[in-house]
């Protein structure tokens, strides 16, 4: 399991146990068998009562008679206890269980320390609401320093982050960040099928020109190019210094394009490329940022060609078509993960 996927899984997990106390320095005194038996019965009764009160089901077999009686007494009911353990397996709706732990944003996460994690196990993204929408791209193979392929910024999404009716959440069931406010809505996710970030926006003013950029910073030396409606930053380096240097060539590649009207790409400066566009007449637009593996390519596999192969027609494909595979992948993931409620 990749780190980005694991991050989402960890966010979704809930501990039902109190913090462990430190172990005593010496063994506790031995107790008689009768006392231990009575203590175990009391513990079983207490656990059964807690399970009945919280809806937690312990799938370790049928309850002892005295524990079952205690549970019934605690709830004041003699009705048959319901359980998710049926025919030797848990009968749970994975999406319903996971969605209980969606990460809800009470306010725009302007500070990067409150960034939301997205990812597919290879490409990881940290997204926050500075200057509208900002996201840092990270890959697991830009060795040896794990250099970022860049940061993405969409300033027009300040309409959402500055809105008094802002709402936001990370939907853990399918790994999609959803935000809305000021009449606009946004969905952002990292594709499970390829290494790209997709940002879908609806409700924007169709007459206002939007921009989206990907950029690096001082100390980085990419080659910035434009091919059609896509801007690309590509950089390579050789791991040839320090103990254990491999001598291998590594690199990073990021490319940005958009779906909308009048899309054009430009090189802003040696470390930044940008697309400008207008939303469709209905106020929808999409920004697609690819960040695939890159180690220098070849004459037939230049950075723009590599980026184009990843992006394909994703800037203009129906949202439902893009999210269908996303939903299916996450459904399989959660169906094979341990869940409790």
131-165 pLDDT, tens digit each: 999 999 999 999 999 999 999 999 999 999 999 99
Q: What is the pLDDT of residue 298?
A: 82
Flag whether pLDDT at 127 surpasses 70: yes
Q: What is the pLDDT of residue 62?
A: 43
CA dist., res. 241 & res. 264, Å (int): 40
Flag whether pLDDT at 167 surpasses 70: yes
Average pLDDT over residues 81-109: 82
- Residues 288-340: tens digit of each pLDDT: 999 999 999 887 789 999 999 999 999 999 999 999 999 999 999 988 886 65
Q: Which of 51-55, 94-98, 110-114, 298-302 has the lowest mean pLDDT?
A: 51-55
Q: Taking the model in full, what pTM does it have?
A: 0.75
Q: What is the pLDDT of residue 308?
A: 97
Q: Which of 44-48, 66-70, 233-237, 280-284 has the lowest mean pLDDT?
A: 44-48
Contact present, 132 and 158 (Cβ < 8 Å): yes
Q: What is the pLDDT of residue 40?
A: 41
Pairing of strands 123-128, 116-119: antiparallel
- Residues 83, 84, 89, 92, Cα dihedral to 10°: 170
What are the residue ranges spanned by the domains of the chain?
31-91, 97-335
Contact present, 244 and 291 (Cβ < 8 Å): no
Residue 6: count other Cβ atoms within 10 Å of its Cβ.
13
CA dist., res. 63 & res. 48, Å (int): 8
Could you tell me which CATH class the domain 97-335 is placed in?
Answer: mainly beta
Contact present, 332 and 95 (Cβ < 8 Å): no
What phi and psi, each to the nearest 5 degrees, are found at residue 264?
-145, 150
Q: What is the pLDDT of residue 97?
A: 83
């Amino acid at each position: 399991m990749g780190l980005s996927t694991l991050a989402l899984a960890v966010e979704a997990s809930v501990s039902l146990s109190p913090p462990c106390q430190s172990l005593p320095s010496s063994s506790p005194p031995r107790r008689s068998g009768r006392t231990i038996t009575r203590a175990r019965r009391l513990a079983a009764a207490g656990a059964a009562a807690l399970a009945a009160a919280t809806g937690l089901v312990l799938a370790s077999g049928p309850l002892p008679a005295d524990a079952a009686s205690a549970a019934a007494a605690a709830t004041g009911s003699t009705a048959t206890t319901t359980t998710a353990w049926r025919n030797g397996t848990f009968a749970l709706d994975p999406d319903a269980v996971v969605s209980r732990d969606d990460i809800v944003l009470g306010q725009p996460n302007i500070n990067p320390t409150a960034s939301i994690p997205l990812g597919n196990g290879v490409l990881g993204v940290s997204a926050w609401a500075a200057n509208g929408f900002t996201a840092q791209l990270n890959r697991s193979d830009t060795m040896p320093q794990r250099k970022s392929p860049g940061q993405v910024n969409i300033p027009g999404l300040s309409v959402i982050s500055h809105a008094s009716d802002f709402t936001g959440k990370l939907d853990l069931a399918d790994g999609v960040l959803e935000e809305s406010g000021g009449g606009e809505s946004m969905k952002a996710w990292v594709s499970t099928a390829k290494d790209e970030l997709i940002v879908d926006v609806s409700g924007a003013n169709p007459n206002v020109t939007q921009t989206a950029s990907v950029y690096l910073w001082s100390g980085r030396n990419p080659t910035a190019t434009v091919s059609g409606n896509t801007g690309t930053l590509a950089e390579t380096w050789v791991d040839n210094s320090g103990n254990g240097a491999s001598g291998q060539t590594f690199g990073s590649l990021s490319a940005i394009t958009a779906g909308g009207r009048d899309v054009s790409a430009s090189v802003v400066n040696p470390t930044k490329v940008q697309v400008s566009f207008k939303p469709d007449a209905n106020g929808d637009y999409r920004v697609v940022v690819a960040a695939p593996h890159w180690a220098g390519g070849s004459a037939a596999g230049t950075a723009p060609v590599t980026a184009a192969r990843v992006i394909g027609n994703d800037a203009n494909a129906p949202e439902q078509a893009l999210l269908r595979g996303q939903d299916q992948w996450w459904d399989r993931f959660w169906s094979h993960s341990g869940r409790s409620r």
